[in-house]
Amino acid sequence: MIIQGFIRATVFMVMVGAMLALDTLTGDFFSERLGIIPRNLSGIDGILCSPLLHADFGHYIANLLPMIVLLGLLFANQNYKPWRSLILIWFLSGIGTWIIGRVGSNHIGASGVIFGLVTFLSTASLFLRSWTSAIISGAVLFLYQGILFGALPPIINSDMAENISWEAHLSGAIGGVIAAWGTRKK
């Protein structure tokens, strides 16, 4: 089960890498047209497409290992309702970015989903009340403890680069907590 989760995550990120190669070969055709353009109907399709798109190889590499690790952990535990949780994180990250994103910007990349996975895996143990999820939560908090500063706007986090979407990070983080709440035992 655990190995299958990481295999799924790796296959997914290989497909994202293939998308980057295709986008690069077409002169950024996809990333210029399928990113999230906040509060603009022409950018609403980015809610679905933006996590599949990356600005360049460095952007892709920065997201590669966290996506494989976090998706692998998500799919390794069926109590997480992995497909449902991933879809919820994906869409809430995108919708939130579309609502609060800077006007005139184009948001691409998987970091909103990464932030959602971090907060999901960190908080799911509170709702599931299981040792397995508590251990995973502890490991994720240890590995990614500093990441949540990237969800703060530049007015609070002066280290935030202008081309980094804190809006996607914040929306993903909120989406992760909401998705974790959806796994609670009734």
Question: Using an 8 Å Cβ cutoff, are 150 and 115 in contact?
Answer: yes
The pLDDT tens digits for 99-158 are 999 989 999 999 999 999 999 999 999 999 888 889 999 899 888 877 777 777 776 766
Q: Does domain 2-181 have CATH number 1.20.120.160?
A: no
What is the token pair recorded at 150?
């990237």
**Residue 110: predicted pLDDT:** 97
pLDDT at 176 exceeding the cut of 90: yes
pTM (2 d.p.): 0.93
**Residue 38: predicted pLDDT:** 97
pLDDT at 29 exceeding the cut of 70: yes
Q: Which of 93, 158, 83, 157 is nearest to 119 (CA)?
A: 93
Q: Where are the domains of the chain?
A: 2-181
The DSSP call for residue 54 is -
Question: Using an 8 Å Cβ cutoff, are 144 and 83 in contact?
Answer: no
